[in-house]
Structure 1
């Protein structure tokens, strides 16, 4: 094996490691720009975690269904075991977003499943494939590297548990049955993603052609903003939280996610190109950054900074679009 392919795979791996926390945290405002120095501390969880997902799916021969299922594993590991936010009655005021069922913050959980699936996992992987197309269908790491990345990802979950809850939710300890259930669910879902789903990706229906890339981008932006707006309180919830009436917005958000996923699956039947991927990522990223500027930011500095980031994101993706404008790659 020559040195060039090895270096190319390493560059691709590091690109994904960098993009995951940037897409998920920095460009949304979940991590205030005034605290940007914290971003490297998120690399073990986000960067290594998403790289581990990507490597496992590629080695198993899986496609987007496997990535989505492992994204749920990622969310359970981060929010359920690391942050303990799925069960905490206090952290992020998540208990007030909607009904608590069996001690779980259901509206918060739904929002994070969709958010992490798209912005922590799918978009960083898709962008990395676009930046490094020669390696999009093959693993980046050898077995030793895969083991090392897995260890770093586990360390990332431990770091979240050790540093975030004690400072932001002091005194809270998630119930052991809940932690055991989350761990068991992670194992079962991983088996499904890597042993059951590979080779069973349903083909898109014939006779459907993708619309223009700009339409895909607008759909991505619309779906992102509406999904987040339905689940994340734009104004502080009333005393006692939003309660059971939040089931309506939760159902609408779930329906929106399903419809968007089905549309993308149908559009991939014919005429789906890298330009569509870039517009899809751009619409979703710019949409979630502008939403973060309006809802997540608490200072003028952060609000203006996120708007600037949205513009920079659009410009960078436009440059990437010029680079790959004429390359057609079937949706995998």
Structure 2
């Protein structure tokens, strides 16, 4: 009979140590990739995917934008997700916290919502005037477009896709204390740089106060809904009709996302955008209550909006600056490819050990 090498030999101890450390190392590496991919995707989907700025097709400015918008959008997205998951809340609370971030971004940080001619973008003044409410100095179209855009593209969609990359860890915290501190510091530094820019000092005292109250109200509603979600979760999952197929969810939401992105910038366009958003939101809420709704369904919703934005970006020129056609279309193709890769990683069929439950409930 062959004898096994004694456990006390240095060779055997080295093998045992290596086998024990390798899985943990891989897990940490995958966690870093997940968090890093999420914040980069946040920067891409919020700013670069739409290809509207003069950094379109320019490698240096694009790399700077990735770093800066990772701090401005990706970092607070991570913080909101950490709060939600650690508290045991659902997507309804997380979306309300994202709404508070969106209002803060458009009204308190860059204050673009109150600007009549922000950064000299083509057509800004005309769009601002088309649905302006003079009493509050706000364009209704801009308010709906900016705030909803931040909720979806800056925060919501990247988190939805990133959570689906590791379904069995979707409800777990991603960050420890150093990561939380780094994310908070990055956000405050980036936000501070924006606020200090004269272009971002457009709001009156009353506008700042009103926006601050809205931010506080969103946080309060998120807390209230979070408590209700905890009580519902303790009673188990709903029974009844099965959720629609992931492909069906993607197709329907892609059609609605394209329709939303093609609405006009006048009052009729606002009415159409509100109607489309209401229909889409209602479909998601109803479907999320059905048996079998999960992370891949949520990821399909997110991917539909990102694909719509990326495809439509091929149809217009940047709003400022001049970009060569080959450079612009290369930029569009690369950004859309990044989104498609992220979507594929999220929607691929999970293995037996990573099959999620109803962690993605509304």
Q: TM-score range by the shorter chain?
A: 0.7 to 0.9
Q: Distance in 2 between matches of 1:311 and 1:11?
A: 18
Q: Which of 89, 92, 95 is matched with 2:128 structurally?
A: 95
Aligned to 1:222: 255
Q: Which residue of 1 aligns with 2:348?
A: 322
- 1:264 aligned onto 2:284: yes
Contact residue 51 and residue 318 of structure 2 kept, 8 A: yes
| CA-CA distance at 1:152 after TM superposition | 2.3
Aligned residue for 1:173?
Answer: 202
Question: How many Å apart are 1:66 and its aligned residue?
Answer: 1.1
1:278/1:65 CA distance change after superposition, 3 Å: closer
Secondary structure of 1:324's counterpart equals coil
Two-structure CA RMSD over aligned residues (Å): 2.8
Which has the larger Rg? 2
Q: Does 2:72 correspond to 1:45? A: yes
CA displacement, residues 4-48 of structure 1 (integer Å, 9 cap, x when unaligned): 565554443323222211121121214423241332122221111
Pick aligned residue for 1:282 from 284, 300, 303: 303
C-alpha spacing 1:320/1:129, structure 2 compared with 1 (3 Å): closer
Is contact 2:41-2:339 (8 Å) kept? no
Distance 1:273 1:196, change over 3 A: closer
- Give the alignment partner of residue 34 of structure 2, picking from 1, 9, 12: 12
Range moving further from structure 2, 146-155 or 36-45? 146-155
Evaluate the alpha carbon distance shift between residue 321 and residue 188 of structure 1 in structure 2; reply closer, same or farther with a 3 A threshold. Answer: closer
More deviation, 207-216/295-304: 295-304
Larger deviation, residues 199-208 vs 114-123: 199-208
Distance in 2 between the 1:13 and 1:312 partners? 16
1:73 aligns with 2:106: no
2:109–2:195 Cα contact (<8 Å) kept: yes
C-alpha change, 1:70 and 1:136, in structure 2 (3 Å) is same
Alignment: residue pair count: 312
Give the whole-Å Cα distance in 2 for the aligned partners of 1:52 and 1:317.
22
Q: Which digits, 9 at most, give the CA deviation of each residue in 1:265-322, with x for residues without a partner? A: 2222123244434433332211111122223546423245314533553355335533
1:297·1:303 contact (CA, 8 Å) conserved in 2?
no
Q: Alignment partner for residue 57 of structure 1, among 84, 91, 107? A: 84
CA distance in structure 1 between the aligned counterparts of 2:178 and 2:330, rounded to whole angstroms: 43
- 1:142 CA drift (Å): 2.9
Rounded Cα–Cα distance in structure 1 between residues aligned with 2:214 and 2:302: 29
Contact 2:90 2:226 in 1 (8 A): yes
> Does structure 1 conserve the Cα–Cα contact (< 8 Å) formed by 2:160 and 2:295?
no
- Give the distance between the partners of 2:169 and 2:215, measured in 1 at CA: 28
Structure 1 position 196 matched with structure 2 position 224: yes
Please give the per-residue CA displacement for 1:244-263, whole angstroms capped at 9, x wherever unaligned: xx232212211211211121
C-alpha distance in structure 2 between counterparts of 1:307 and 1:64, whole Å:
31
1:129 Cα deviation after fit: 0.7
Match of 1:115 among 144, 149, 168: 149
Tell me the SS of whatever aligns to 1:44. helix
> Structure 2, unaligned stretches of length 5 or more?
1-20
Encode CA deviations 1:81-121: one digit per residue, 9 max, x unaligned. Answer: 22111111111415135223411122111012221111111
Equivalent position of 1:85 in the other structure:
112
- Give the corresponding residue for 2:8: none
Alpha-carbon distance in 2 for matches of 1:132, 1:209: 23
Aligned position for 1:23:
45
Partner of 2:339: 313
Other-structure match for 2:9:
none
For the 8 Å contact 1:208–1:267, the answer to whether it is kept is no
Residue in 2 that maps onto 1:104: 138
2:243 is aligned to 210
**What residue number does 1:239 align with?**
none
Of 10, 33, 39 in structure 1, the residue corresponding to residue 57 of structure 2 is: 33
Unaligned runs of 5+ in 1: 234-245
Distance 1:9 1:320, change over 3 A: closer
